Structure formats: C-alpha cells, structure tokens
Amino acid sequence: MRRTRNVKIVATLGPASDTYDMIKALFTAGADVFRLNMSHGSHDEIREKHRIIRQIEEESGGSICILADLQGPKLRVGVFASEDGEMLEEGARFRMDLDTAEGDATRVCLPHPEIFAALEPGSSLLVNDGKIRLKVDECGPDFANCTVIAGGVISNRKGVNVPDVVLPLAALSNKDRKDLEFVCELGVDWLALSFVQRAEDVLEASDLANGRAAILSKIEKPAAVKNFEEILKVSDGIMVARGDLGVELPVQNVPPIQKRLVRKCRSAAKPVIVATQMMESMIDSPVPTRAEVSDVATAIYEGADAVMLSAESAAGSYPIEAVTTMNNVATEVERDPTYTQIIEASRESKGATIADGIVSAAREIAETTNIKAICCFSQSGTTAALVARERPRVPIIAMTSVARTARQLTLYWGTNCVIVEPLDRFKMAVVQSARAATRQGYAEKDDMIVVTAGVPFNVPGSTNILRVAPCDERLIFNSDPE
C-alpha cells in the first residue's frame, strides 16, 4: 500500500488490537511497523499476532515490518504489609534492603543486590516513575538508608530507577534470552533492546540474533546518552524512549537530547524512532491534545524515521483513530515548505566512500531535473539506507530479492520496498526499476528515473553505478548493450 508520507508509523499491538480485523484496520489507517511488546503476552499470543501480520502482508502485496521489543531487566520493590502501601512524607527516613519481610512505613525489600553494589552516598533512587524520590545517605552490600526528597504513596512492586550510576546488570535477562530466540525463529525483522547502557550490551544481543534480526537500541538511561556514540556504531537502529529517559533525567533535558540523537542517527544512515507518550491522551479520548500534535510534528520536523504509538494502539479505546491522527499530522507536516527547508538545512555533506558520492549525486540529479523517483537495488539494505539519509524530495523505491531486507527497510524514512527476482545484469535492474516505478504509480512511461546499484550484484556495500533512465522499456532495450 503506497503511503503519501515519508515518516513511518509504528503501532504497538495489545489487547485492544490483537484480532485480524483490528490489525488490518490499523495497517489501512497508516501503520507501517507493528511492535510486539514482549513484556506482555505469552509466546502463543505473540505467534498469533505475527501470523496475522504476515497474512495481511501477503494480501497487501507489500512489506510490513515487525519489531519485537524485549522487556529488559525490571527493577522493583517488594511487597508491603498493607495492601494500600504506605505514605512516605518528605524529609522522612526510609530504608531499602534485602530482607524479604513485608514492608512498612520505614522500610521495604529491594531484591536487587546489584543495585546496592553500585550505590554511593548521594545517589538517587526513583520509585513509581519518579513520583517518589529518595536520596541515599548511607549504603552497604545489602541496604540503603535514604531520605525522602519527594514523597507519595509507595506500594507493591513499584518500579525503581537508579539514574546516577551504571548498574552492573546485563541488558538481557534470562526471559529476554528466551524471548529473543523465540522471536528470531518466528521471523521478526527488528529487535528492540531495553536497558542499554553500553556498546557491549548491544554486541551481546547481536551475537545471539546472529543476523536473524536487526538490533535497535532503546536510549532510556543516562548512561546510554553518555555512551551514545559507541552504542550507535554497533546498533542497526535507535529508539529514543522518552519514558524512562524523562524519569532519570530532568524533563527539560529530554527535548535537546532527542534532537541531538535524531540528527546523529541520520548522519550515520541508521533509522531512529521517537517513542513514548506521543498521543497519550488518545488512550481514553478520540482526539489528542494540541500539545501532543505539536510533539509528533516536532519529531517529524527533526527528521525522525518513525514515530511510535504505545498504549494508544495497544490498550486504548481509540487505536484506529490514534493511527489515523498520526498519519494526518505526518502528511500535513510534510506538505509544509518549512519542513523541506529544515530537512535540507540539516543535511550533512558525506563523501567518504563511492557509495556516499553515488547517492548524493542521485539525490541532487533528482531534485534539479524532472526525475520522478530514485530506484536503488540493495541486497543488504545499505544503499537504500544511504539514499534515505539524503531525504530526497522524490520517492525512494528500494528493490531487493531478500524479503527480510525489504521488511527491515520499511522502517526507514521514505523507503517504498519492492521484492524482485535476483539479477545479474545492470540493464535488467534498470528494466525492473522502470516497471516498479510505473506499476506503483510513481511515474508514467514518458517519465525519467534515477537508478543506483552495485556491480557485481549481490555484494553488500558495493554501490558504484548511477544511471538516469526512461520508464519506457523499449527505450531501455534500444539503448547501450549494458
């Protein structure tokens, strides 16, 4: 299904969107990527959602991307004697320890010795999405005595964030390892890795995936922001997960961080998703707030590859309306001349490789002449990623004989993926491009397109040829032999 926008929409599936009819409706409304949240649902339920998506993909004749989001280690307090929890007053003393006895107004179990091993006096502990803030006064291998800085009700199994230190925790829990193997065998396209703190976390997941899925690192920890350059190098993509990031950092820090990360991802030709609370009010309302619309628009103006819906589409009362609204906002933003000005002003000059030069030339030719589309052949996805980085004004048609590559590329800005038969001659690549451009409605027979490819074929990263070609196959065959 051809979209009229370049930015992609990620829709999370859940109880409100787990049937064929609802998933089909979300796809029709504008969802390009479906997120399977491994924090919720059994493997059988995940398998059924995957089956439905692939059925809709086959019926549509296009490519649909599936993103499996691993849960990551969850840090939570224990339970309290009172079912309603306890009220912590500002200035009060409160202790966290390894004692499994039920908690009260003075203490509670924190069953994570690795946290105590990393804490230092002055460290902060945030409970229940940062609503309760504790400052560590003294600590040891099995306890932390704290002062309540911001009070509130603390109750059973509320989440804990530790923003000040790098925790000696692996990004992959035992559950994550089992889930990773399951979804890779199932055939998902991307793996979102939670709790990333360092590049080594990404490399571990990449080794386990072993090429079966691309790795997308979620930036939700201060340590990940600090180590972002190294994390980006070893990741296939990035998610700016503003939920925990806004808990562990001052909220005013999140917007500039988002802008920097989006720009760095684009420079590296790696896709970036902006996520969390984009249209939160649409969980219960058929229309978003004006501020939420502005938030989505800002991410699009920044050049993000994709914007994401979480609970809005997974558990809300208006999942179709949420996707439709996001689609409408994206379409309207991209019509704005200011959008084009911002995107082009933020384009960085790249010329380190022949491939960089080829895709830059393709974009410039397309924008300065009457070219209707840029068609790129890409077995690994590298060439299409480089073209997407250029953010051209004309459509990008990414052509590949590898279904997994087509699905993964669906996450990239502006890419329209077409699966073709394997090729061994560049002339046939031009012919296939002309056919795809006309059949998909991007061009007519008397129009021109730009074609890029690597010769010899099927060698990743070998982009070395560019041709301006007609869409009329007779003219192609009557031209030079190759």
Which residues carry out catalysis? 35, 76, 218, 276
Give the whole-angstrom CA distance, residue 441 versus residue 134.
59
**365 contacts 390 by C-beta, under 8 angstroms:** no
Give the whole-angstrom CA distance, residue 204 versus residue 190.
15
Cis bond before residue 456 (omega within 30° of 0): yes
Give the whole-angstrom CA distance, residue 194 versus residue 71.
6
How many CA atoms lie within 13 Å of 118's alpha carbon, on the beta-carbon side? 15
**270 contacts 385 by C-beta, under 8 angstroms:** yes
Q: Who's near 272: CB < 8 A, 6+ residues apart?
A: 237, 238, 239, 240, 261, 262, 265, 266, 304, 305, 306
Q: Which two tokens stand for residue 8?
A: 């992609």
**Nearest-CA neighbor of 23 among 51, 62, 61?**
51
Q: Who's near 414: CB < 8 A, 6+ residues apart?
A: 6, 388, 391, 392, 395, 396
Q: Which two tokens stand for residue 237?
A: 């993509």
Residue 399's SS3 state is: strand
